[in-house]
Structure 1
């Protein structure tokens, strides 16, 4: 222990000893290895010598046999022939490990500046803390070369003997004015695809990275890996052919398009029965699609397309190892065409006749991934597929294609969707009087779309498994008597003006008290909820908030909801109920919540429900009484790349918006979680329903307005809930 005196602090102890002095000879001996020329060692060989990786909770040596398909892509990064390497594949397949192996090679064998670009600064910091630092600490050869000064090991860089590893994120200043021998781009499709100001973007991350390696001539390389995250661009797509057998469908952006510019390598297995080569893909997995997802996954097998021989999942590691020894492996598109078959010849990456391009590219299918099972892959695929067929929302189904299989996603063409016309809806219309709920109705929702001179209203009845039908549709044009200037000098009412007069919204208060008879029964149903559009003419959002606060003071706040649409197919949820960040006046939105709706995802579900004429499950029926104008509003929009848009020449879509509001409200209340054998009180059948009202004259829509809600049944229900 060292002790010293300090005038300000007094006696100070526990001062660590100073490091020993180094002689000039020792300094020179330490620096001499930096003068060695780059070692002629492959990336994979270097990784097995120097890199340790986590294996089942412990650290062990890197083993090429675990994920043999990563060997060629990471080794080819040192080739003088290619300026870039592109790898498209599923998550949990070892993609990011390749970048760490390339970095380890640069540290131990070929010193030079390397930069690794993550999706965001937060992800970069997390990768350093959770992956890079532990790998260096547990790999003695890497730890030995790491500088000992404090500034040698930070979140943004690691200084090793003779080389610098920079860790950044995709912004122009990270990919500008720096020379790098290697630039590594991870999760490329989750980066901004254009860097710089929106009005004058500089280039893509890939393009800017290529500029950084120019100084190093043929020794420079850009390595990009990612799961695909962009959908198929149907306008640019061309099908794979005998001349382009490995072409992936063009996407709206991202790494798939980079892959198509390269050598287009695919991973092949060689059948042990017929020696035929084939790509192990999800499409070649055979299983019974009628079984439950878990059972279907357990029976999944791979079928050889040449002889029909079957492989179970336990054979996958062996097939991958055999492929590494040229019983299959990576095959790329060549420049020659077989004269007999008319097909493009497939060649190895080192073949002089490989496709003439500066980029080596690889597309890997999740069916061959080392860290996923066929049973889990099929189970997740089938679960997402069936949910998509029921709801029409394909977000999870697309996610399985991107992250589990590793291929770009194209929304399936639905013949029923193409045939969804006004005539078809009229053909399958439900015969039911207006303002009468069907016998299967369990709850009622009321939707209000706000226009500049009217409130458009739709009432929907809901049954088991999401079955629903509109039971009323009308517009409110007249303001309440107490509204300012409600009547003119001539005694006529003006049109409602929701943005100008807050009192005009009071006409909506009575919607919560309406009663709708249930067909063939002696009861009616009051609305479970009234959902009102928060968007509208200028000034309406403030007036809508005033209306809700007034209803809340009168004890009706739980009946009324204000909805707001959120566009795009990648919203975090379908429906969420939370306070707005700020009110339109600039202050905090205290005490009020908005029903946020992922409108494009919900419109997918509505259109799918309208076309579901062969089953009541999740079906949205059209009533016979609905006029052609309101009926056509359901089909007013067309699905585009970024969302649903009004068809050319069409102006009104209120019925579609109403349907979205109703579905959002039902899902928020818990429609998708209901156990219909023991449903909650808000959707139970009979008079025990929280919103049920006994009627003296069944099926009389007009008399239902005059029947007060009895107090005794409500008290009984209240006591039962307690």
Structure 2
């Protein structure tokens, strides 16, 4: 025998039970578990040198659960996630990779904007994740070709990491694709998502694309301008946004500015920057409380994703079904992220500083970066102040339009009331296809708004009962769809305004018409302009100021429309500059002109100018701006009822053509209602001061008999 002979006693044999167990294990079906649940059980975070270290917890960023769950839901082919930097959105893809390698294998393509970015991502994120998780490390191939910088072969699947170049997008195929920061891909690619999506189509319903990014490519806040990048995907998705409860009143609102009831970050725009950082707080739209940064984690833990087709009550009850879509869309904002350095105070600081720098330099580079990458919002470039000239607008007044009559094309009416110390001023505006509008009526009414219930009731009742004659000579009239009025100002006005609404509700004139984009649409609505430049366009909420109890479950009964006056003055300025007929053109009857220039009504339309920071202010302290304010408030009401999205070919009955319009009344109906009104006037009116009634005008000092004769005379037919 040679010296190399090995005796049987020296041979080490494998444990047969271990061999059998491993063989059986290979035949067992993979654990059925979605990405979110898998991450909660198995993901370890090892952000040494700065960041969280330890087992994954959904409590840190609960809003990531929804996108992770969508990745394995069969009805979806794409998951689109909008979000700022440091919001955790890239961990969604990492957790998906981890879950796939361990229990749900399938090949992956992972794209980033450049080779340098993809190499850095693999080194800083993917390699440490593999080392930290035995479920990945043990399945990684041992040959050099199986574990290169841009290619990883695991047991039963592979992952390739690529720059978003044209050849890489069209020459590769895999059932699962991750596209990180898609809005940063080279512009010459065109629609990068479309190119990549084709490469997974042969895998059918078993495929999934995860796309995530800051919203860099969006052209503003209007969904019609979300034509590129991540916001295009989000636009075509089920559009979910995050809702959370106020820690003080439990009322649900959203940190997303597009929500019907948004919770906004509030700060004093004129304060020093350091003070802004220290004092900024979330403003609850329900109870008006300022919420400190420490509460965000608790609010997130009770948060809910709500998408299109669904509605959420103030108590957090979600009703309705998500719209059918093959794309699950999620929008994370900076206010949601617990990973923002410095918290929401730093968000306020950065935004205020960028706005001030822009006002000084005119360069919006920093403002864009803060909006997109810190706040996670599409950037809307500040609008240039348009050059509005009162004489130019007055020259467009039309002799063919009669004040007090509804011209052809008007589908519905909105009315607004501005409150002054000794009077009301009101405007009635008619709306037609594509937002084309007409001034129907404009009047000043002597009154005492701060103390007189009677003056409030007479004004609102006259607007509630008004029927403006149609210009076609048919003796028909159109009623006003909605009346809004200023509920702020001098002492006493707010209490009077709220009391007037309660009485209108009692006589059933203030009615809820339904929900429009998640907002309650009321026929009579107190309005207040928000002071913050960053306030949402419009929120309808119920902050009854007479309610002493602010505890959870206590709700005000009075709706108030809080609107962003700067946003709507931008819109009014744009509309007033439209000189040709058609979309958003404003038509003025010649009766609004004075006998000779200057024309006070038209001077009032241009009494304010836009500052570079986007805030509007009077040109001179003494300028009368009531016509502009009335234009704004009539626009707010039309916006509430969806004028910009109105399906004019199949509108609701109150916006239908005249022959089908529920707010158009016949001559017989006018006569019956008019006679009833005469009887009411005969019983109740004396010789006191009264308002001017829009379609049935009275004067302040007429005798009872003369007033009745005038009322009867004005009845159509």
Could you state the TM-score of these two structures normalised by the residue count of structure 1? 0.48
1 or 2 for the larger relative contact order (CA 8 Å, sep ≥6)? 2
Could you state the TM-score of these two structures normalised by the residue count of structure 2? 0.48
